[in-house]
């Protein structure tokens, strides 16, 4: 029922894009016994997101605006839609959420989501929680997110959003972060009586697309 698919392996982190990308995707129907898993779709394709930005990259120019594009791929048993967002002048944001007061609210059903102000409709699912689920919490109160790393423009804004239901009460909480070149920043987020601290660690990506290989050192 949930249209989101959580990518595994290195694709959990943002991908540094230097041109068209090639994807190999295996979509499986999971069974209780791993040996009984069934393949639903096997896809391999070349993906070129946001042609105007790729054109700029091929000309050695820095892209100025972030963008989003989608492509649908059909197989005999399913249709898979791949949505790609290019975030220009990108900063890597590593997100953690820690309970600092109260306890996890029983019966909360919702999601933790991250997005950027410039591409607000392109939301990254950090954690999906059913009303009978309790997220894995470490001894220090840290919540186990399904995904932790996203990209945000250095001149933009990162939004971390908690939305869902607590009984009949609708929950809609959001905190905002201004990107830094390095270091950490924290904000408080409250769901019911549970107070959480959202912390973001910042690190740099290249600002421009390389136009050629890094030159070898000259002899002498």
What average pLDDT does this structure show over 70-74?
A: 79
What average pLDDT does this structure show over 47-58?
A: 59
Q: Is residue 1 very low, low, confident or very high in pLDDT (cuts 50, 70, 90)? A: very low
pLDDT (0 to 100) of residue 99 = 94
**H or E segment and range at residue 83:** strand 79-86
Counting residues of the chain whose pLDDT is more than 70, the rounded percentage is 75
Helix (H, G, I), strand (E, B) or coil at 57: helix
User: Does residue 11 carry a pLDDT above 50?
Assistant: no
Single out the residue of 125, 147, 159 nearest to residue 11, CA to CA.
147
Single out the residue of 134, 128, 147, 146 nearest to residue 103, CA to CA.
134
pLDDT (0 to 100) of residue 132 = 72
Domain ranges of the chain: 14-86, 90-204
> What phi-psi label fits residue 60: left (phi over 0), alpha (psi between -120 and 50 degrees) or beta?
left
pLDDT (0 to 100) of residue 51 = 59
Single out the residue of 145, 14, 146 nearest to residue 90, CA to CA.
14
Please tell me whether the overall predicted TM-score, pTM, comes out greater than 0.85 for this model. Answer: no
- Which residues have C-beta within 8 Å of that of residue 188, sequence separation ≥ 6? 100, 175, 195, 196, 197, 198
Higher-scoring residue by pLDDT: 179, 64: 179
How many C-beta neighbours within 10 Å does residue 42 have?
11
User: Does residue 119 carry a pLDDT above 90?
Assistant: no
User: Does residue 138 carry a pLDDT above 80?
Assistant: yes
Q: What's the CA gap between 79 and 73, in Å, rounded?
A: 6
Q: Mean pLDDT over all residues of the chain?
A: 77
Torsion sign (Cα): 159, 122, 79, 21: negative
User: Does residue 207 carry a pLDDT above 60?
Assistant: no
What average pLDDT does this structure show over 43-62?
A: 61
pLDDT (0 to 100) of residue 5 = 39
Higher-scoring residue by pLDDT: 186, 61: 186
Please state which CATH number belongs to domain 90-204.
2.60.40.150
pLDDT (0 to 100) of residue 6 = 39
């Amino acid at each position: 029922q949930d249209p989101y698919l959580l990518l595994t392996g290195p694709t959990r982190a943002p991908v540094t894009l230097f041109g068209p990308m090639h994807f190999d995707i295996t979509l499986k129907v999971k069974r209780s016994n791993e040996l009984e898993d069934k393949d639903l779709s096997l896809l391999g394709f070349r993906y070129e997101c946001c042609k105007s930005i790729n054109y700029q990259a091929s000309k050695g120019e820095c892209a100025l605006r972030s963008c989003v594009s989608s492509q649908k791929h059909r197989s005999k048993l399913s249709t898979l839609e791949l949505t790609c967002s290019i975030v220009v002048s990108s900063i890597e944001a590593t997100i953690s959420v820690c309970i600092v007061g109260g306890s996890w609210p029983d019966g909360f059903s919702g999601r933790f989501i991250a997005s950027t102000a410039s591409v607000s409709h392109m939301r990254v699912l950090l954690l999906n929680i059913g009303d009978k689920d309790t997220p894995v919490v470490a001894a220090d109160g840290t919540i186990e997110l399904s995904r932790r790393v996203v990209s945000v423009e250095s001149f933009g804004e990162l939004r971390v959003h908690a939305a869902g239901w607590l009984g009949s009460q609708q929950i809609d909480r959001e905190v905002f972060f201004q990107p830094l070149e390095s270091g950490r920043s924290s904000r408080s987020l409250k769901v019911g009586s549970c107070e959480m601290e959202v912390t973001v660690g910042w690190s740099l990506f290249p600002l421009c697309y390389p136009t050629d290989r890094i030159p070898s050192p000259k002899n002498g």
